[in-house]
Structure 1
Amino acid sequence: MQKHGILNSHIAKVLADLGHTDTICIGDCGLPIPEGVRKIDLALTYGVPSFEDVVRLLRYHMQVEAIHVGEPMAKENPDNYAVLEELYPKDCYEWIATSHEEFKEATKSCKCIIRTGEATPYSNVILRADCIFNEEK
């Protein structure tokens, strides 16, 4: 039995299998899951677990080089956008902002979508994996 780290075996497996430039998505409970993309469903009830809870956990356990958000997030969900700015400062990470439709299209190439219980609009991010032997950010 694992003593530390992510206890969810599905998330731990996905992270262990990621290679450089592979992507995963953390999404709110309303984000559509494209056919053929693995869904890891953490949603228990509205708001549990929150987008912030899951993003903070993944920040600690995943080497990331870029994040991708839908453009409406900055205006429509400033609280969760601020969380991303705190965890992934724009001077250290590549930020990609696209229309919400283009964001949803990009989820089709993600290794998985981790569905949270978040019930606020545009609480979605795609994380692109970096090499673990690159300088730690």
Structure 2
Amino acid sequence: MKKSGILNAELSRIVAGLGHGDLLVIADAGLPVPAGVPCVDLAVTLGVPAMLEVLDTVLSEMCVETAFRAEEAGAVGGEIDARVQCDLVSHEVFKERSAGAVAVVRTGEGTPYANVGLVSGVVF
């Protein structure tokens, strides 16, 4: 049994399998998951787990080359930006880009637009 980091087996497998340029989306509870994109559903109840908690855990294990978020994110956008530098796109563009994701990680977050797209980098 793992004793630290990502304990969810499916999410751990996905992060470990990311290649350069792969997209992983960390999403609030309401983001529509595009057809054909796997969803790792971590939501237990509204607010649990929080998107920023999941983001922090994923960032501890993932090499991120670039990231993007919706410009409509408001205050939560600043919280996301404090963790990872993001390009800003419209929410509509965010949803379109999500269609190319390796997976969408659905959290219990209830804050509108609390979503981030993480593009995998390389550690060398």
What residue in structure 2 maps to residue 43 of structure 1? 43
Name the SS of the counterpart of 2:78 in structure 1: helix
Deviation at 1:82, TM superposition (A): 2.1
Aligned residues, how many? 124
Name the SS of the counterpart of 1:97 in structure 2: strand
Answer yes or no: is 1:102 the counterpart of 2:93.
Answer: yes
Letter in 2 for 1:131: V
Name the SS of the counterpart of 1:105 in structure 2: helix
**Structure 1 alignment gaps of length 5 or more:** none
What residue in structure 1 maps to residue 80 of structure 2? 84
Q: Distance in 2 between the 1:132 and 1:13 partners?
A: 18
What residue in structure 2 maps to residue 16 of structure 1? 16
Letter in 1 for 2:120: A
**Structure 2 alignment gaps of length 5 or more:** none
Note the alpha carbon deviations across 1:3-53, whole angstroms, 9 max, x for none.
332110011100111001101000000000011000000000000000111
Q: Distance in 1 between the 2:78 and 2:55 partners?
A: 12
Q: Distance in 1 between the 2:47 and 2:36 partners?
A: 26
Identity of aligned residues (%): 39
Structure with bigger gyration radius: 1
Q: TM-score, normalised by structure 2?
A: 0.95
Do the aligned residues in 1 keep the contact of 2:5 with 2:60 (CA within 8 Å)? no
Q: Distance in 1 between the 2:50 and 2:3 partners?
A: 24
Letter in 1 for 2:4: H
- What value does the CA root-mean-square deviation take over the aligned residues? 1.1
Name the SS of the counterpart of 2:2 in structure 1: coil
Q: TM-score, normalised by structure 1?
A: 0.86
Deviation at 1:2, TM superposition (A): 2.0
Q: Distance in 1 between the 2:58 and 2:79 partners?
A: 13
